[in-house]
Chains A and B, each alone.
Chain A
Amino acid sequence: MTDFISGFATALHPLNLFYCLIGVVLGNIVGVLPGIGAIAAISILLPVTFYLEPTTAVIMLAGVYYGAEYGGSISSILLNLPGTASNAITTLDGYPLARRGEAGTALLTAQISSFAGGTLGIVAMVVFSPLIVAFSLSFGPAEYFATLLLGLVAGSTAVGNSPLRGVAMVCIGMLLGSIGLDLNSGIARYDTGFPNLLDGLSIVAVAMGLFGIPEVVANIRAAQRDEKPIPISAGAMFAAFRKLRSIVPSVLRGAGIGGFLGPLPGAGPTIASFLAYSVERSTSRNPQEFGTGRINGVAAPEAANNAAAQTAFIPTMTLGIPGTPTMAIILGALMIHGIAPGPQLVGEHPDLFWGLVASFWVGNVFLLLLNVPLIGVWARLVSVPRRFFFPVIVALVCTGVYGVSNSVFDIWAVLLMGVAGYVFRCFGFSPAPLLIGFVLGPMIEQYLRRALMISNGDYAYLFSSGTSIAIHCLTLFVLLWPIVRSYRSKARMRAEETS
Chain B
Amino acid sequence: MLTKRAFLTVAASAMALAMTSAGHAAEDYPKEPIKLIVPYSPGGGTDVTARIVAEGMAKNLAQPIIVENRPGASGTVGTLLAKSAKADGYTLLFGIQATLALNPSLFKSATYAPKDDFAGVALISESPYVITVPGKAGIADYKQFAEAATERMTMANGGSAALLAARLLARDAGLKFSNIPYSGTGAAISDILAGRVNALISSPVSVLPHIESGALKPILVTSTTRYHALPDTPTAEELGFKGFNVVGWYSIVAPKGVPQDRLDMLNEAFRKTIADEAIAKRLMDVGVTPAPGKLTAAETSEYIAREYDLWTKEIADAGIEAQ
Give a binary string over A140-177; 1 marks a CB under 8 Å from any B CB, 0 the rest.
11000000000000000000000000000000000000
Q: Which residues of B contact A249 (CB under 8 A)?
A: none
Within B57-89, the residues touching A (CB, 8 Å) are: 68-74, 76-77, 80
A188-B107, A342-B209 known; A198 vs B74 contact (CB < 8 Å): yes
Q: Which of B106, B183, B193, B196 has the most CB of A within 10 A?
A: B196
A46-B42, A405-B72 known; A344 vs B213 contact (CB < 8 Å): yes
Q: Which residues of B contact A406 (CB under 8 A)?
A: 68-70
Query: Cβ of B43 and Cβ of A43 under 8 Å apart?
Result: yes
**Residue A483 interfacial (CB < 8 Å):** no
Across the two chains, which residue of chain B brings its CB closest to A186?
Answer: B323
Query: Cβ of A342 and Cβ of B213 under 8 Å apart?
Result: yes
Partner among A39, A137, A325, A456 whose Cβ is within 8 Å of the Cβ of B193: A137
Q: Which residues of B contact A181 (CB under 8 A)?
A: 73-74, 323
Query: Cβ of A47 and Cβ of B77 under 8 Å apart?
Result: no
Query: Cβ of A320 and Cβ of B43 under 8 Å apart?
Result: no
Cα A258 to Cα B206 with chains together (Å):
28
Cα A193 to Cα B189 with chains together (Å):
34
Interface residue range, chain A: 35 or more
Give a binary string over A332-346; 1 marks a CB under 8 Å from any B CB, 0 the rest.
100111101111110
Query: Cβ of B287 and Cβ of A335 under 8 Å apart?
Result: yes
The tally of CB-CB contacts under 8 A between chains A and B is 154
**Residue A322 interfacial (CB < 8 Å):** yes
Q: Which residues of B contact A407 (CB under 8 A)?
A: 70, 72, 77
Query: Cβ of A340 and Cβ of B208 under 8 Å apart?
Result: yes
**Residue B180 interfacial (CB < 8 Å):** yes
Cα A188 to Cα B215 with chains together (Å):
36
Closest chain A CB from B192 CB (angstroms): 10
Interface residue range, chain B: 35 or more
Query: Cβ of A199 and Cβ of B73 under 8 Å apart?
Result: yes
Query: Cβ of B191 and Cβ of A195 under 8 Å apart?
Result: no
Closest chain A CB from B148 CB (angstroms): 16
**Residue B160 interfacial (CB < 8 Å):** yes
**Residue B210 interfacial (CB < 8 Å):** yes
Give a binary string over B267-286; 1 marks a CB under 8 Å from any A CB, 0 the rest.
00000000000000010011
Within B141-173, the residues touching A (CB, 8 Å) are: 152, 154, 160
Contacting chain A: which of B45-53, B91-99, B217-225, B299-307? B45-53
Within A194-208, the residues touching B (CB, 8 Å) are: 194-199
Query: Cβ of B180 and Cβ of A139 under 8 Å apart?
Result: no
Cα A439 to Cα B212 with chains together (Å):
36
Query: Cβ of B208 and Cβ of A183 under 8 Å apart?
Result: no
Cα A138 to Cα B52 with chains together (Å):
37
Query: Cβ of B190 and Cβ of A315 under 8 Å apart?
Result: yes
Q: Which of B72, B152, B160 has the most CB of A within 10 A?
A: B72
Q: Which residues of B contact A197 (CB under 8 A)?
A: 73
Partner among A42, A139, A183, A195 whose Cβ is within 8 Å of the Cβ of B73: A195
Cα A409 to Cα B47 with chains together (Å):
22
Query: Cβ of B209 and Cβ of A196 under 8 Å apart?
Result: no
Query: Cβ of A321 and Cβ of B187 under 8 Å apart?
Result: yes
Sample of 24 A–B contacts (CB below 8 Å): A39-B41, A42-B43, A46-B42, A47-B55, A137-B190, A141-B196, A181-B323, A186-B106, A188-B109, A196-B77, A198-B73, A198-B76, A199-B72, A319-B190, A320-B189, A325-B43, A326-B43, A335-B205, A336-B282, A337-B285, A342-B209, A405-B71, A406-B69, A456-B152
9 other A-B residue contacts (CB within 8 Å) besides A140-B194, A320-B209: A39-B41, A42-B42, A43-B69, A46-B42, A46-B51, A47-B2, A187-B323, A320-B189, A332-B43
Chain B interface (Cβ < 8 Å from any Cβ of A): 2, 41-45, 47-48, 51-52, 55, 68-74, 76-77, 80, 106-110, 152, 154, 160, 178, 180-183, 186-187, 189-191, 193-194, 196-197, 205-206, 208-210, 212-213, 215, 282, 285-287, 320, 323
